[in-house]
Each structure stands twice: as structure tokens, then as C-alpha cells.
Structure 1
Amino acid sequence: MDFAHHFGLKKLARGGMIALSLGLSGLLLSACQNDPDIDITKLKADTDPPDVLYRQGLANLNAGKTTEAARKFDAIDREHPFSEYARKALVMKAFVAYRNGQSQDAITAATRYLNLYPQSEDAAYAQYIVGLAYSKQIPTVTQDQKPAFKTIEAMQTVIDKYPTSEYVEDARAKLRFAKDQLAGKEMQVGRYYLERKEYLAAASRFRTVVEQYPTTNQVEEALARLVETYFAMGVTSEAQTAAAVLGHNYPDSQWYADSYKLLQGNGLEPRENGGSWISRAGKNLIGA
């Protein structure tokens, strides 16, 4: 093969490669234009300095490009692990994961942050994200309530460890919601036993609500169910005490009206026995 022929083949091959490259570029550009979450900063390897990557991550996040924002924060964590921006990027990874509905990823990133930087200024926020992520996983009362327990644990840590943080108020609200769920679960099981006349098991569940979740929205019904349960068992003193505590704390409640009617129809009335566990627990109720 002569040199000219060989050069011509090489030129042709090179021309083909250029054409192929241009074609691929066009396809990439078309794909980028159609991708709703494409990087608004630039398309290149994530080798920029950490401060640049961090600003790009924030820019993408502010534009609603959360996938690209996460990629930038991941790049900082991977390429610049010992920089100050790696600390900032890690808590932002947790936030973006939570925002994307990736609760377990958010918990993992935030927990890692707390392990690495327990005394940092963003530690309260990382702990709050853990609580938020667990709160998002709380199911209906008919299902397992492990996420509710985890929410209580995480949000109580926010309240106890970071009492002056801006997240305390919402942490308390999420805490109340989680406790309402747990109390609701106890009520569901208690009603199940009551319907089947398994009174001891039912009373145990209703007692748990009154003693362990006294500030929840389930307490009124729990006291009324105790009136019903103890009356059915023939333990009238406890039934009367439960009605008295219910009437003292929630005098306008329909639950109290029903309990009063049940006792009155059988020649009884609400009467508190100060030695009863119900009387002691009544001092902690929301209406006490």
C-alpha cells in the first residue's frame, strides 16, 4: 500500500470519527435539552475545586435540579473529603435525599454527619433531618409503628440536645404526631380485644394510652373505653374513677356523656378513687 493511499485511508477514518463525534454531540445536546433535571452549570467531569462544586450544587438545588445538586455534593464528598466544603456538602446530601423522598439515604447521610461533626453548627439540623426522614415513614395505625418510635427518639434528641435551635418547635409538633400514632395503634388493638370480650387485654392497652401518652388526642376515648371495660368486668370502682377523671378533664366530651349514661343507667355515677392508678395518671392529662 503506497503512502498516499494509506494517508487517504487515515484521513477518511479521521473524518468519520469527527462526524461520529459531532453526531454524538448532537444527540447529547438533544438529550440535555429534554432532560428536566440536567445540570444548569455545565457538563464536565466533577473535578472543579470544592467551593466551585458547592456553589454549583446550590445553584442546581435552587433551580429545582435536585439530581444534579446531589451529584455535585457527592463529588465534593468523593474528591475533596478533607475540605471544609466536604462537611457542608454532607449535610446538604442529607437534605437533598430527604427532599427527593429518599428517607433512608437522608438518615444515613445525616447520621454520618453527626458521627463526623458532632459539635458543628449544623449538627442540630442534621439531627432534625433524621427526625424528619423517620417521620415521613410513619404509616397508618394498622401497620408497624417502628418509624414512629424512631421519630420520637430523633426529635427528642433535637429538643434535649439543641434546645435553642430553630428546629425545636417543629420537632415538638412531629413528636406529638408520632405519639398520637402510637396511641392510636394501642387503641386499635384495645378495641379489637374489647370486641372479643378479652377485657384484661383490652384494659391493658387502654391503660398504656392513659399512662404513656397522656397528652395525645386518644386519651378521651381511652378513658371512656376503660369505663366500658371495667364495668363489663364488674370492677365498678375503677369504671367510676375512669368516668370521673374523664369528666374532670373533658367535661364537654361526647365520650364523657356516653360514659355517664352507661353508669347512670346502672345506678352508678362518676366517683374518683384517689388510690386508683387512673386517678394518679389523671394528674398528667392534657386537661388536668
Structure 2
Amino acid sequence: MNKIFLVMALTLLIIVGCGKKPEPNKSADVWLKEGLTYFEKGKYKKAAEAFEQSILEADNPEIAAQAQLFLADSYFFLNQFDEAIPSYEEYLDIYPDNEYAKQALYRLALCYYKQIDTIDRDQTNTIKALENFQKLKDRFPEYAKTVETNAKIKELREMLAEREYYVAKFYLRTKKFRAAEMRFKTVLEKYPDTEIFPKAAIDYAEYIVEHSNNKTEAIAILTQALKNENGKKYLKSVSNLLGKLQEELKVN
């Protein structure tokens, strides 16, 4: 009896299986429209899956470009920046002159910007964000103005300068003087427009006097700090130290 039921069940499955038509493959355009529907509803995970399928099926560069950009945007809005970054980079590599390239470049920069850590940690994301914001400013100056790229660039340069100053002070405390000197020089040479510049100039001038007694070089550095727009808040400290060094030079 059990064998009879088993045979009947298998027969039924075969009949149903034969009667069911296989689902036809969706075209790139259909996948794209499906992805856009999910995207508009804020269902970015499902949207990303649809856009990936659209890219795989695409034989039209316009559809492929649109799907690639929306795939990157889907990851961006999911805060999955590690997935969004290569998606934007691939879009910009394949479609550098597309009308939406500026938007892709801006969001690529934001992907790095949103992952920036404190100055005592690795600053790779800070550097990459700065590189891409600067690239946006160079390639699309008008668009860069509308998204306030200059403010971002200034902020990121301040962070990198503070990082160099932080490391320089650490090396001073641990008596790694050559390493400290190199970090101070980086601040003075690469970031003269930053708020930390005058403070770094004062500390470096004091370091030079203490370790090499080179008052002439120290005076030159402090004079540069006084000319700096951000040096006003340190005006008294810089002036006092500068005056002291100049008096010592006269005596000698």
C-alpha cells in the first residue's frame, strides 16, 4: 500500500512539474525598473539585488550605467560604504564623462568622509576623502560650490594637520626627536593655512633652540607664524619668544 501511495505521489509531482512553465529571464530594463521601484520605497537591499541583475543582463550601456549608479547609491543609503566605494569607483572608471559623474564622485568622497576616525587612529579615510573632494573641485568646480566642497577640504586639512602635530608631540614625549622634527616640518610645509600651524611653529622653534641652539632658524619660523592669519590668537606667545631670541642673538 505504501508503495502505491509513493508511486502516485511521484506521478503527481511529474505531472505538475511538466505542466509548470519555467519563468522567463527578465531583461536588464525590467530589472532596472524593479530596482527603481524598490529604491523609491527605500527598500535599498532589494533594490541593490535588482540593480546587480540589471547590470548582468545589460547589453545597453545607458541601462548599465544607470543600474551601476543606483547600485552604488543603494549601498550608500544602506551605510554599506565598503560596498558603495568600489561601486562608485567602477562607475567613474567606466563612465567618467556621464552627466551623473559629479554626483558619483561627491558620494564617493562622502563614503570616506563618513568613516573618518579620531586623530589618534588611522587617517586613510581622511586622506581618501580629501583626495576625492579635491578631485571634485578640480573637475566640476561649479557643482563643487553647490555642495560646499571648500568647507570639507578645509576641515579635512585641519584634521590631517592636527594628526601630524599630535604625532610630533608624542615623539617628543618619547624622546624620538628625529621623528618629531619630521612631523613638525610636515605641518609647517604642507599645512600653513591651518589653525594648528602657529602652535606647531612655536613648539618647533622651542625644540630647535633646545636641541641645536639655532636661534636664526627659530626666528624665521616664528616670523612665519606671525604672518599667518591663524597666528593672531598666539600673537603674545610668538612675540615674546621672538623678542627673547632676538635679544639673545644681539648679546652673542
Cα RMSD (Å) of the superposition? 3.4
Q: 1:82 aligns with which of 42, 55, 60?
A: 60
Query: Is the CA contact 1:191–1:202 (under 8 Å) kept in the aligned structure 2?
Result: yes
Equivalent runs, 1:111-260 vs 2, <5 Å: 111-166=89-144, 169-233=147-211, 234-249=213-228, 250=230, 252-253=232-233, 255-260=234-239
Greater Cα offset, 184-193 or 156-165: 156-165
Query: Is the CA contact 2:75–2:83 (under 8 Å) kept in the aligned structure 1?
Result: yes
Q: Which residue of 1 aligns with 2:19?
A: none
Count of aligned positions: 237
Code of the aligned partner of 1:53 = W
CA separation of 1:197 and 1:261: change in aligned 2, threshold 3 A:
farther
Q: 2:45 aligns with which of 67, 73, 89?
A: 67
Calculate percent identity across the aligned residue pairs: 29
1:240 Cα offset (Å): 2.5
Name whichever structure is richer in helix by fraction.
2
Code of the aligned partner of 2:56 = R
1:187 Cα offset (Å): 0.7
Q: Deviations over 1:113-153 (max 9, x none)?
A: 12222221122222223222222333222222222232232
CA separation of 1:267 and 1:184: change in aligned 2, threshold 3 A:
closer
Code of the aligned partner of 2:192 = P
Q: Deviations over 1:80-102 (max 9, x none)?
A: 34352221010111122122222
Residue aligned with 1:252, SS = helix
What is the rounded CA distance, in whole Å, between the counterparts of 1:186 and 1:59 in structure 2?
47
CA separation of 1:267 and 1:165: change in aligned 2, threshold 3 A:
closer
Q: Deviations over 1:135-183 (max 9, x none)?
A: 2333222222222232232222222222333577443333333322321
Greater Cα offset, 138-147 or 105-114: 138-147
1:203 Cα offset (Å): 3.1
CA separation of 1:259 and 1:199: change in aligned 2, threshold 3 A:
farther
Give the unaligned 5+ runs of structure 2: 17-22
Q: Which residue of 1 aligns with 2:85?
A: 107
Query: Is the CA contact 1:202–1:229 (under 8 Å) kept in the aligned structure 2?
Result: no
Q: Which residue of 2 aligns with 1:34?
A: none
What is the rounded CA distance, in whole Å, between the counterparts of 1:230 and 1:101 in structure 2?
47
1:51 Cα offset (Å): 4.0
Query: Is the CA contact 2:28–2:63 (under 8 Å) kept in the aligned structure 1?
Result: yes
Calculate the TM-score normalised by the size of structure 2: 0.76
Query: Is the CA contact 1:158–1:168 (under 8 Å) kept in the aligned structure 2?
Result: no
1:10 Cα offset (Å): 4.2
Give the unaligned 5+ runs of structure 1: 19-44, 272-288
What is the rounded CA distance, in whole Å, between the counterparts of 2:185 and 2:24 in structure 1?
58
What is the rounded CA distance, in whole Å, between the counterparts of 1:267 and 1:164 in structure 2?
48
